[in-house]
């Protein structure tokens, strides 16, 4: 199982560390609210939707982190 996860991490790195992948990552950061709040006052459903988008981006970024940086 751990080998599969490590292989998957390598695939993420191949994709997102390429020149094209870096452009896609920048676009995802804008579209998925990476640097802004996802709280919409008075609309909990929209807030949850936006936070769901953001969580996917955070997952991708976590896959790209070196395990040593994560303390593993």
Q: Is residue 17 part of a domain?
A: yes
Q: Is residue 35 part of a domain?
A: yes
pLDDT class for 66, splitting at 50, 70, 90? confident
Q: Is residue 45 part of a domain?
A: yes
Q: Is residue 69 part of a domain?
A: no
DSSP string, the chain: -HHHHHHHHHHHHHHHTSHHHHHHHHHHHHHTTTTS----TT-HHHHHHHHHHHHHHHHHHHHHS-TTTTT-
Q: Is residue 70 part of a domain?
A: no
Q: Which residues of 7-20 are buried (b: 16+ CB within 10 A; e: fewer)?
A: eebeebeeebeeee
Q: Is residue 7 part of a domain?
A: yes
- Write down the pTM of the prediction: 0.83
Report residue 52 as tokens. Answer: 């769901």
Q: Is residue 71 part of a domain?
A: no
Task: Specify the number of domains making up the chain.
Answer: 1
The 10s digit of each residue's pLDDT in 17-58 is 999 999 999 999 999 999 988 999 999 999 999 999 999 999
Q: Is residue 53 part of a domain?
A: yes
Look up the domain containing 9 and give its range: 2-64
């Amino acid at each position: 199982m751990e080998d599969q996860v490590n292989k998957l991490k390598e695939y993420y790195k191949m994709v997102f560390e390429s020149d094209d992948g870096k452009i896609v990552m920048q676009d995802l950061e804008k579209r998925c609210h990476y640097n802004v709040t996802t709280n919409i006052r008075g609309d909990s459903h929209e807030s949850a939707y936006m936070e769901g988008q953001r969580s996917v981006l955070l997952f991708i970024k976590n896959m790209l982190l070196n395990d040593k940086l994560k303390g593993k």
